[in-house]
Amino acid sequence: MKDSTTLMAMPQAPRDFGFWRDGKWVRGREKAERRSPAHGLPVTLTEKCTLEDLDDTVAVARRAFEDRRWSGLSGAARGTVLLRTADLLRRRRDEIAYWEVLENGKAITQARGEIDHCIACFETAAGAARLLHGDSFNSLGDALFGMVLREPVGVVGLITPWNFPFLILCERVPFILASGCTLVVKPSEVTSATTLILGEILTEAGLPDGVYNVVTGPGRTIGQALTAHPDVDMLSFTGSTAVGRSCVHAAADSNFKKLGLELGGKNPIIVFADSDLEDAADGAAFGVSFNSGQCCVSSSRLIVERSVAAEFEKLLADKMKKIVVGDPLDPATQIGAITTNAQFDTIFGFIERGQAEGATVVTGGKVLDFGRGQYIEPTLFSGVTRNMAIARDEIFGPVLSSFHFDTVDEAIEIANDTVYGLAASLWTKNIDKALTVTRRVRAGRFWVNTIMAGGPEMPLGGFKQSGWGRETGLYGVEEYTQVKSVHIEIGKRSHWVS
């Protein structure tokens, strides 16, 4: 681990943010300080918004929706703003990545790659804004014509997590905007900076004031109030399944608002003996270690064919030992710090519990001490049984549990033995196996001979307790619309009363 002073400079003082409402900064009364999880130094100050701040912000978003300053524009006009935003993101890529690293602890090279993905999201949504359409029914007879309209759902509340603050934001915002909706966004209180910066960028790109707004503060107060707010028409939440369940209750108890939920995962990576084992080992190492394992679609359950299990676990352990863990501002670093103290304690607690329950650590399992920050070695467990906590619970860290199978049916059964269904990865050179397993494993995203691949053209979302709805692509625009049926009578009415 290199000293960060020889790399990118830390800020001389924490950057002081307001919150973003009606196209401008708003200053509140109380600040929250965020310290870099990699360096222990203060990097940002953000507002602790009040419930009154939230009410006022929702009212701004409501006015912006009702007066049609955004929803009344053509798809082409909305797309133009989204394309301008993509161009501005490209110009400010390094700045956004820098603040993402300071608050989150992820590697700078990863953060820059994520901004590139965010640019692609805005470009894709710009095209989708033009393509969004309804349907017509010319099959109702000569006297009646039918149309199906897609209309924006209204004011959308968007709650985003700390693990991918800007990427998850941009997998939603441009598609919500493409639909014609207005937004109130509540980022995680520990990673709010880049969400706030996007407000400046959207306004510079020509987004009308009041269409994109950001409130900051704790999830237990501001997030909960946004979820239950009666003047919010739809809520999109990304986070744990437990909190997602509370969103369902809050929505039902307020106004039956529409929900989009991307929740937890315990995702399998299935490796057959006929696969390229070197490739699969690299994919598994990446899949569990990317973003320090703090990733909803992280491959946390390795399901490997028994005949090659020992060989594969050795290949994988060798890969995981070579992963460069260190200062996230160092371009050579592959994974950085754990984002919060609470998550650090959770991950290490699972490692200790796995050992106590009888699983064997093949590699990793230790805290890395660099004198500051919080780091954990990428960890591989073998000898895991399906009743162990590390086998069933979402750890949200760089911890992989290995299971062995003998038949295709057994591999599928193990993969589906979870309450989650967010993502899965499969490695084989046999097309029959690939198609069979792809069809039968219940997961919203599926990768064959790759992992965490693809772009914003295709939808993302989960099965089972991993969530409701789909984001990105044209599906992600349609998610934020309501469908209206219109019947038009042609000619003279046939009178009911003679």
Residue 463 phi/psi, 5-degree rounding, is: -100, 170
| CB hemisphere CA count around 387 (13 angstroms) | 2
What are the pLDDT digits (tens) for 427-467?
A: 999 999 999 999 999 999 999 999 999 999 999 999 999 99
Does pLDDT of 5 surpass 90?
no
- Euclidean distance between CA atoms 16 and 349, whole angstroms: 34
- Residue pair 403/302 in contact (Cβ under 8 Å)? The answer is yes
Q: For residue 488, with 0-12 CB atoms within 10 Å meaning exposed, 13-18 middle and 19 or more buried, which class applies? A: exposed
Does pLDDT of 146 surpass 50?
yes
- Residue pair 157/184 in contact (Cβ under 8 Å)? The answer is yes
What are the pLDDT digits (tens) for 265-286?
A: 999 999 999 999 999 999 999 9
Question: According to CATH, where is 3.40.605.10 located in the chain?
Answer: 4-263+466-484
Q: How confident is the model at residue 7 (pLDDT cuts 50, 70, 90)?
A: low
Six-digit token string for 25:
């900064």
Long-range contacts, 60-64 (Cβ 8 Å, 24+): 60/21, 60/22, 60/210, 60/213, 61/155, 61/182, 61/183, 61/184, 61/210, 61/211, 61/213, 62/155, 62/182, 62/231, 63/210, 64/182, 64/208, 64/209, 64/210, 64/211
Q: Is the dihedral of CA 257, 262, 266, 267 positive or negative?
A: positive
Percent with pLDDT over 90 in the chain: 97
**170 flagged as catalytic:** no
Residue 234 phi/psi, 5-degree rounding, is: -150, 145
Residue 283 phi/psi, 5-degree rounding, is: -65, -40
DSSP classification of residue 335: B
Q: How confident is the model at residue 29 (pLDDT cuts 50, 70, 90)?
A: confident
What are the pLDDT digits (tens) for 109-127?
A: 999 999 999 999 999 999 9
**247 flagged as catalytic:** no
CATH of 4-263+466-484, one of 3.40.50.20, 3.40.605.10, 3.30.365.10, 3.40.50.1100: 3.40.605.10
Percent with pLDDT over 70 in the chain: 99
What are the pLDDT digits (tens) for 199-249?
A: 999 999 999 999 999 999 999 999 999 999 999 999 999 999 999 999 999
| pLDDT value for 223 | 97
Residue with structure tokens 């009888």? Answer: 358
| pLDDT value for 9 | 86
* Candidate list 49, 296, 305, 377, residue with the active-site label: 296
What are the pLDDT digits (tens) for 68-111?
A: 999 999 999 999 999 999 999 999 999 999 999 999 999 999 99
pTM score, two decimals? 0.96
Does pLDDT of 4 surpass 60?
no
Residue 293 phi/psi, 5-degree rounding, is: 75, 0
Number of Cβ atoms within 10 Å of the Cβ of 309:
19
- Residue pair 17/196 in contact (Cβ under 8 Å)? The answer is yes
DSSP classification of residue 423: E
| pLDDT value for 428 | 98
- Residue pair 262/471 in contact (Cβ under 8 Å)? The answer is yes
The closest alpha carbon to 400, from 425, 382, 386, 418, belongs to 382
How many residues appear in the chain?
498
- Euclidean distance between CA atoms 492 and 83, whole angstroms: 48
Would strands 234-238 and 155-159 be described as parallel, antiparallel, or unpaired? Answer: parallel
What are the pLDDT digits (tens) for 385-397?
A: 999 999 999 999 9
Question: According to CATH, where is 3.40.309.10 located in the chain?
Answer: 267-448
Give the residue-averaged pLDDT of 400-423: 98
| pLDDT value for 8 | 78
* Candidate list 262, 305, 377, 394, residue with the active-site label: 262
The DSSP code sequence of 15-41 is EE--EEETTEEE--S-EEEEE-TTT-S
Listed in sequence order, the residues at least 6 apart from 364 whose beta carbon sits closer than 8 Å to its beta carbon are 320, 376, 377, 378, 379, 380, 398, 399
Averaged pLDDT of the chain: 96
DSSP classification of residue 467: E
CATH topology of domain 267-448: Aldehyde Dehydrogenase; Chain A, domain 2 (3.40.309)
The closest alpha carbon to 273, from 317, 305, 314, belongs to 305
Give the residue-averaged pLDDT of 182-204: 98
- Euclidean distance between CA atoms 354 and 147, whole angstroms: 58
| pLDDT value for 148 | 98
| pLDDT value for 28 | 85
- Euclidean distance between CA atoms 415 and 417, whole angstroms: 6
